[in-house]
Amino acid sequence: MSIGSTVPSSPWTLAQRAARMNPSIIREILKVTEQPGVLSLAGGLPSPDTFPIEAMREATAKVLAEAPREALQYAASEGFGPLREWVAAQLQRQGQQVTPAQVLITTGSQQGLDLVGKVLVDAGAPVAVETPTYLGALQAFAPYEPIFTSLAGDAEGPLPEALARLPHDAPGTRFAYLLPNFQNPTGRVMPEARRQALVQAAQAARLPLVEDNPYGDLWFDEAPPAPLAARWPEGVVYLGSFSKVLAPGLRLGYVVAPAELMPKLLQAKQAADLHTPGFNQRVVYEVIKGGFLDSHVPTIRTRYKAQRDAMAAALAEHLPEGSEWSAPHGGMFFWIRLPAGCNAMALLPGAVAAGVAYVPGEAFYAHAPDTRTMRLSFVTLTPDEIRQAVGMLGGVLRRHLNEELEETTP
Amino acid sequence: MSIGSTVPSSPWTLAQRAARMNPSIIREILKVTEQPGVLSLAGGLPSPDTFPIEAMREATAKVLAEAPREALQYAASEGFGPLREWVAAQLQRQGQQVTPAQVLITTGSQQGLDLVGKVLVDAGAPVAVETPTYLGALQAFAPYEPIFTSLAGDAEGPLPEALARLPHDAPGTRFAYLLPNFQNPTGRVMPEARRQALVQAAQAARLPLVEDNPYGDLWFDEAPPAPLAARWPEGVVYLGSFSKVLAPGLRLGYVVAPAELMPKLLQAKQAADLHTPGFNQRVVYEVIKGGFLDSHVPTIRTRYKAQRDAMAAALAEHLPEGSEWSAPHGGMFFWIRLPAGCNAMALLPGAVAAGVAYVPGEAFYAHAPDTRTMRLSFVTLTPDEIRQAVGMLGGVLRRHLNEELEETTP
């Protein structure tokens, strides 16, 4: 096996782009941390207590009773018509101008990222991302060999100036990939003014946006402002997901795209897997069509908010002085910056040995990772477990800082 | 919107590869032919009468009762362990040396084609295909911008000489894509001797093979010879599917790859959709684990064989002199070569107006299509409908040939 050339021992030659594919560091970490006895704050796994199992039972029985032949047959690459209509109606309610014809159902929103990369990214073309950003998006785009540009940002998201400078700094940038709501990994949400400023800068620069919104429904205090796509429909591709509000194991997401992009996205979808399982689409439609999410999502919010509160309190109690974070107003993650002298990756083995796991933040940077950062998920463990886990993490950090102090003190 | 350059009216720039994506001609034809009153021989849709609806009901209920949280949660990118073990055991029975670690569960075998293209094909690299070949594979590989080489063949498959000449004719060919069993679209099956000769030629040329086997279980008279992968495990990627033996709407397939390719295929899979729906994998495993297919697949064979026989008899009765075909020994398709003066694409609108649809064969060629060919599916319609449809098709062809004769007779 070789990249771009042939080695006598193997008949296979890998594509150049294979060099840009890497094992997910999170995946590798999850493997290590899936030991019994380790409390994991690493995974971004929704709490299975929120999965609507009874509703799924009823819906699968209904689909298999009423339309089994249609549900099990090949189906349209665009997705199941009524589900596309539901998505369009739902987005209209949050202010987006969307017709069902602009909705493409995907096999999880991860596939939406892959299709966007396939249709929009050439080798060597710049793609702008937040600093830090969602690792899965870097992995989805990377095989199409872009040059990533990291947008400078603050607690409210990327800086509009950074976007405005792109035509100069990275001419030909294909799009900026943005997560306005409770971003993975930082948990930050873009306020109304930042959204306005970013869209204005993007329009002025003729720079399209790819807006990823898996967490928008998981707000604890107030709903986030209207999406970027509502402000510039022809310049934004919008990605949504059922993974966080229903269940990820169904692999159901969607892409909403300007009409001009739909034919190529659809052709890419067809080439990728013909269509998303029709059975899953019909079952989910059956679950949600009567307004199920209107009562279900608030129960998730309540649960996650309590877990967020537990983690906020535990962090305040246990993290060493000099640690920085702010409590997220939604989503699934705390983002921590450790005191000087702490390297989150280097500290991980000791933490796992002590019984707690997290994801080092460096995984989420396209460039120049801040090695003092870490991502903690608060949705998988119970509040009691969260307190215990954060307590252990605090102990690991304090011991490390004390040892450092001893070493540097004569 | 533009390809490789920016047009003022749109902020979007498409990737170069988008120019290689095209609407599926079959899909366009299916749209036209989905009119009420048209008997369609066009689609490659398995008969829904074969879908194991009762077994699906039991299996979904069982999965949602016994492991709902696991089935609905994020899962491993490789696939559900017991299903991977089942696939490996099943392939071992047909002579392949396969471990579960070599099995990657995919979202239909179409995704397997996409992942193979992603990992193995560079822009400008040659990829060899049969003449004609599966349209979906051309669509899956095309976005990776290969140069297709069409392998000359006969009724037994591609010619070993054509494979042997590839290092000279198309140096650097990444792989030859072959469908040994009841090929789509021709229905042809490679006999034992041809398989041996092709693998020998491939080994001598150090040319890897991608073997696609969606139809191998659908034999009517005798099981086909052992797969190519059994003869050269380290040089063959093998693709399988549950679409034809259970139901396509579940989108479940698999890739079996030499160990050296697995890491990159897995990384490509993870980037593409994280994992195939765990719910679907567990339900299918529940359906098949007790040997269900051993009794189920023979019922599909019996049904399709009767439909094959009905079509063979109807073709003999109704097709005009000079038409060429041979009855397939398995699979889903007849491949017809019409008499001189017939263009299958040009004749399609008239056929649809008369109430019968088919797929013009030219869709299946990478180069130099034979415009006199057409593909007829015999698995979707009943024997009575098949007789009626072929009767109408014969009428359309005879009228056309008579008109031609009148025009050319002074």
Pairing of strands A176-178, B153-154: unpaired
Over residues A301-334, the pLDDT tens digits come to: 999 999 999 999 999 999 999 999 999 999 999 9
CB contacts of B105 in chain A (<8 Å) are none
Would you call the peptide bond into B23 cis, given omega within 30 degrees of 0 as the criterion?
no
Whether the Cβ atoms of residue A219 and residue A253 lie closer than 8 Å to each other: no
Residue B12 near chain A (CB below 8 Å): yes
Per DSSP, the residues of A222-283 read: SPPPPPGGGT-GGGEEEEEESTTTT-GGG--EEEE--GGGHHHHHHHHHHHHSSS-HHHHHH
Question: Given this model, what pLDDT does residue A360 score?
Answer: 95
Answer yes or no: do A27 and B77 touch at CB < 8 A: yes
Could you tell me which residue, B405 or A73, shows the higher pLDDT? A73
The minimal CB distance from B72 to the residues A22, A51, A207 is found for A51
Structure tokens at B392: 């109408």
Residue A17 near chain B (CB below 8 Å): yes
Is pLDDT of B70 > 90? yes
Question: Given this model, what pLDDT does residue B34 score?
Answer: 67
Place of tokens 């699934």: A332
Question: Given this model, what pLDDT does residue B63 score?
Answer: 98
Question: Which H/E stretch holds residue B375?
Answer: strand B373-377
B341 sits in the region (left: phi over 0; alpha: psi -120 to 50; else beta) called left
Residue A231 near chain B (CB below 8 Å): no
| Whole-number Å distance between alpha carbons of A283 and A287 | 6
Question: Given this model, what pLDDT does residue B175 score?
Answer: 98
Going along chain B from its start, the domains and CATH numbers come out as 2-51+294-408 (3.90.1150.10), 74-291 (3.40.640.10)
Answer yes or no: do A18 and B140 touch at CB < 8 A: no
Q: What is the mean pLDDT of residues B299-309?
A: 97
CB pairs < 8 Å spanning A and B: 255
Residue A13 near chain B (CB below 8 Å): yes
Over residues B185-226, the pLDDT tens digits come to: 999 999 999 999 999 999 999 999 999 999 999 999 999 999
Over residues B307-326, the pLDDT tens digits come to: 999 999 999 999 999 999 99
Question: Given this model, what pLDDT does residue A34 score?
Answer: 67
Q: Enumerate residue ranges in chain A where pLDDT < 70.
A: 1-8, 32-34, 409-410
Answer yes or no: do B277 and A273 touch at CB < 8 A: no
Is pLDDT of B408 > 80? no
CA trace torsion A94, A100, A102, A104 (10° rounding): 100
Residue B5 near chain A (CB below 8 Å): no
% of chain B with per-residue pLDDT over 70: 97
Distance from CA of B2 to the nearest CA of A (A): 10
Is pLDDT of B2 > 70? no
Interface test with B, best of A3, A16, A21, A243 (most B CBs within 10 A): A21
ipTM: 0.95
What is the 8-class DSSP label of residue A154? E
Question: Given this model, what pLDDT does residue B7 score?
Answer: 46
Question: Confidence band (pLDDT; 50, 70, 90) for B68?
Answer: very high
Question: Given this model, what pLDDT does residue B6 score?
Answer: 47
Answer yes or no: do B15 and A249 touch at CB < 8 A: no
Is pLDDT of B95 > 50? yes
